[in-house]
């Protein structure tokens, strides 16, 4: 008797509903377009006012263009010119000297003043805190005009006082040796309020329990300042140093109004030199200068941040 074996049937699945590319794209986005519509304005403005100008300036840095004709591609000539230009390196040297004159004094004074104005038993503490904000209220141009009146070589108040005590007068704004310190004093005054507020906020953010525990252990105010306050201010000091370094390298308004970069380019900062290329319609060299400054600032910032992280690891 023959045995009939049944063959297994092959079941062909019914074709499911095909998904359109738009549905697959929507599923890839997470199922909704709404979140992306909310953040779209930021990306539109970022591309229009940040990314596109940055890329355009990068392309322009490889060209020779004075605005009167089409840009002419010249490769790395602008960068090679700046790297061998004495004015470029001189502006960096001026910025470095101003950094040495400004940053240590600003950071130290901000820490000391903020610590003193954080003392709970200090009389007229509110008045002193408010007076520290004067440089925020007074416009820069007004402060520079006061500086011009104070440090004028012939009729300035400072030289008048020196003459009264029979001391020789000084060309504060007309000699290369004194122009940088005079500019540094102006920048110190203008930026003192921000540094003070930053340090005051950092000191007040220190938990009071740390000081209470130190007092129980017998530590006095000075010991508490050096053992608790200063170590906890390291990150704030690092932030202040990095941001002020960026500001000094990019500084333009202060030397422009006070000395116009003189005398003999002694107060020509990197930002002031960059603006001179733009003023003279040398847009290719100016774009190359801006990117060289950006590279230098990125390297300096990374070095400072690395130094700060090394302090945290200890």
pTM: 0.82
Architecture of the domain defined by 88-313: Orthogonal Bundle (1.10)
pLDDT digit of tens for each residue in the chain (314 aa)? 445 555 555 555 555 455 567 677 667 666 666 777 788 888 899 898 888 988 998 999 999 998 888 888 998 999 999 999 999 999 999 999 999 999 999 999 989 888 888 877 777 777 777 777 777 788 888 888 889 889 988 888 899 999 899 888 888 988 889 999 999 999 998 888 888 888 988 888 888 888 888 888 888 878 888 888 888 888 888 888 888 888 898 898 899 989 888 888 889 999 999 888 888 888 899 999 999 999 988 888 888 878 766 655 55
Q: Which DSSP string corresponds to 166-219?
A: T-----TTTSHHHHHHHHHHHHHHHHHHHHHHHHHHHHHTS-HHHHHHHHHTT-
H-helix segments, the chain: 21-29, 34-46, 52-60, 77-83, 86-116, 125-131, 134-137, 140-150, 157-164, 176-204, 208-216, 221-224, 230-232, 234-249, 253-258, 270-279, 283-313
pLDDT at position 178 is: 92
pLDDT at position 1 is: 46
pLDDT at position 292 is: 92
Residue 102 exposed, middle or buried by CB count within 10 Å (0-12, 13-18, 19+): buried
Would you list the domain boundaries of the chain?
A: 88-313
């Amino acid at each position: 008797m023959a045995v009939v074996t049944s063959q297994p049937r092959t079941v062909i699945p019914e074709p499911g509903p095909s998904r359109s590319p738009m549905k697959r794209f929507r599923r890839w986005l997470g199922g909704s377009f709404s979140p992306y519509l909310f953040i779209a304005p930021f990306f539109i403005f970022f591309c229009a006012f940040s990314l596109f100008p940055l890329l355009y300036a990068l392309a322009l840095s490889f060209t020779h263009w004075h605005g009167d004709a089409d840009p002419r591609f010249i490769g790395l000539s602008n960068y090679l010119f700046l790297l061998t230009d004495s004015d470029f390196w001189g502006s960096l040297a001026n910025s470095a000297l101003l950094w040495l004159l400004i940053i240590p004094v600003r950071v130290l004074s901000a820490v000391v003043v903020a610590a003193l104005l954080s003392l709970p038993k200090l009389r007229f503490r509110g008045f002193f805190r408010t007076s520290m904000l004067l440089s925020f209220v007074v416009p820069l141009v007004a402060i520079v005009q006061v500086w011009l009146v104070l440090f004028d070589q012939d009729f300035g108040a400072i030289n008048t006082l020196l003459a009264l005590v029979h001391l020789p007068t000084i060309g504060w704004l007309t000699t290369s040796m004194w122009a940088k310190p005079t500019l540094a004093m102006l920048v110190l005054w203008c930026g003192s309020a921000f540094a003070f507020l930053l340090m005051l906020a950092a000191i007040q953010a220190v938990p009071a329990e740390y000081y209470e525990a130190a007092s129980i252990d017998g530590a006095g105010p000075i010991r508490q300042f050096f053992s608790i306050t200063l170590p906890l201010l390291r990150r704030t000091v690092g932030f202040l140093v990095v941001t002020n370094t960026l500001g000094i390298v990019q500084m333009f308004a202060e030397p422009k109004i006070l000395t116009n970069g003189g005398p003999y380019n002694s107060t020509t900062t990197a930002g002031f030199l960059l603006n001179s290329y733009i003023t003279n319609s040398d847009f290719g060299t100016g774009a190359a200068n801006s990117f060289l400054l950006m590279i230098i600032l990125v390297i300096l910032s990374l070095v400072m941040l690395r130094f700060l992280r090394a302090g945290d690891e200890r």
